[in-house]
Amino acid sequence: MTHHIGLIHGDGIGPELVDAARRVLDVAVEGEADLEYHEEQGGAGTYAATGEPLGEGALERVRTRYAATLKGPVGLPGVRRPDGTEAGLLGGVLRGGLDAYANIRPISAIPGVRTPLRPESGPIDYVIVRENTEGLYLSRGLGVGNDRAYSDQLLMTRHGVERVVRAAFDLARRRPGAPEDGVSRVTCVDKSNVIRSYAFFRQVFTEVAREYPDIEADHRYADAAGHDLVMTPGHFDVLVMENFLGDILSDVGAATVGGLGMCPSGNVGDHGAYFEPIHGSAPTLAGRDRANPTSQILSAAMLLDHLGLTDPARRVREAVRSAFASGAVSLDSRGIPDVGTRGVAEAVCARL
């Protein structure tokens, strides 16, 4: 079967990472499926050249022609909108355009990767489900104010909260449970003790949780969650939260498993999906074969899962773990792989 895949190389280290992940994809599906790639222009470079973050017609093709899209990191420090905010970012464009309401961010420790946590913290294997189309980031570009004050609105709808909470509980049913105790649980993260919008999020979460009596419903305030993701990470299985909180806490989680370069993500809706690392474009590393492509490779594994190619996806994850556990790949204190970007892809492909 042929699957049509969109490719957005992005900015900075993006092209190198996407090329590495594409090589791994081709080896992983060999003999089981054909992947036909379609390159699309997008990111800060595209914005600087055209005034738009995506190439002409790209959003429609991503939405209607491709089974999924693999996207590299985007953004360049010097490319800004007139209001001073960063230009060329695609989150608002793609998430809104595809109605990709669930941002799925797995956080998993890999043997052989150094972390700042003490060994007794235990295994780490959980998923943050970040609501992707509402919350504080819905105010992107819409804040109002003057030189004395500014205001941005935080909006949540019942429809938006219900669907992302259901996505979190459905995901928990497909997982083996929290590493600490094997319990399948979904943790609602909010600031319902302070902000009414978050109290609404928790209220809807509690209502939806009743539909899943086989899954434990758990709760954390956002500040407590940040603490516990470091102190007792093994307690968590799936966490669901508003957009802004998910952005912050997924970076906290990344720090506990070796850094942002180890963490993939998927942006998934009912009618479209794209997959990307959770980090930025690191332009100072661009073109130097120094960037860690693991996040992009694991994002590609999530893409395979989305296509129903679950066995190749599993093999990619196992190959990544083997490459680090065996010492074939290691990272320095800055997260830079000793074998280079291409070397990581080669080590993973060799194990596939």
Tell me, letter by letter, the H, E, C secondary structure of 283-314: HHHCCCCCCCCHHHHHHHHHHHHHCCCHHHHH
Mean pLDDT over each residue of the chain, to the nearest integer: 95
State what percent of residues in the chain have pLDDT above 70.
99
Residue 26 pLDDT exceeds 90: yes
Parallel/antiparallel/unpaired status of strands 273-277 and 68-71: parallel
Q: Are residues 211 and 124 in the same domain?
A: yes
Can you name the residues that pair with 202 across neighbouring β-strands? none
Residue 46 pLDDT exceeds 70: yes
Give me the amino acid identity at 277.
Answer: P
266: in domain: no
- Count of domains in the chain? 2
CB-CB contact of 214 with 184 (8 Å): yes
Domain with 325, as residue range(s), is 1-98+280-352
CB-CB contact of 197 with 156 (8 Å): yes
Higher pLDDT, 141 or 102: 102
Give me the amino acid identity at 266.
Answer: G
Q: Are residues 34 and 62 in the same domain?
A: yes
Specify the CATH number for the domain of residue 236: 3.40.718.10
Residue 166 pLDDT exceeds 70: yes
With 0-12 / 13-18 / 19 or more C-beta atoms within 10 angstroms meaning exposed / middle / buried, residue 254 is: buried
Q: Are residues 348 and 292 in the same domain?
A: yes
State what percent of residues in the chain have pLDDT above 90.
90
Q: Are residues 92 and 123 in the same domain?
A: no
274: in domain: no
SS3 track for 20-76: HHHHHHHHHHCCCCEEEEEEECECHHHHHHHCCCECCCHHHHHHHCCCEEEECCCCC
109: in domain: no
284: in domain: yes
The pLDDT, as a whole number, for residue 187 is 98
Q: Are residues 19 and 75 in the same domain?
A: yes
Q: pLDDT tens-digit profile of 48-99?
A: 999 999 999 999 999 999 999 999 999 999 999 887 888 999 988 999 999 9
- pTM of the predicted model as reported, rounded to 2 decimal places: 0.95
147: in domain: no
Catalytic residue positions? 137, 191, 223, 247, 251
Residue pointed to by tokens 């464009």: 93
CB-CB contact of 331 with 344 (8 Å): no
Q: Are residues 63 and 191 in the same domain?
A: no
Q: Are residues 229 and 332 in the same domain?
A: no
Q: Are residues 233 and 301 in the same domain?
A: no
Torsion angle, CA of 258/261/266/267, rounded to 10 degrees? 120
Q: pLDDT tens-digit profile of 259-299?
A: 999 999 999 999 899 999 999 999 999 999 999 999 999 99
The pLDDT, as a whole number, for residue 142 is 83
Task: Report the pLDDT averaged over residues 211-236.
Answer: 97
The pLDDT, as a whole number, for residue 12 is 97
**Confidence band for 178, pLDDT divided at 50, 70 and 90:** very high
The pLDDT, as a whole number, for residue 120 is 64
Q: pLDDT tens-digit profile of 315-326?
A: 999 999 999 999
Half-sphere exposure of 169 (CA within 13 A, CB side): 21
Half-sphere exposure of 291 (CA within 13 A, CB side): 30
Residue pointed to by tokens 């998993």: 108
Q: Are residues 66 and 127 in the same domain?
A: no
Q: Are residues 32 and 58 in the same domain?
A: yes
CB-CB contact of 189 with 237 (8 Å): no
Q: Are residues 91 and 121 in the same domain?
A: no
352: in domain: yes
Q: Are residues 126 and 236 in the same domain?
A: yes
**Confidence band for 35, pLDDT divided at 50, 70 and 90:** very high
218: in domain: yes
110: in domain: no
Q: pLDDT tens-digit profile of 104-139?
A: 999 999 999 988 887 667 789 999 999 999 999 888
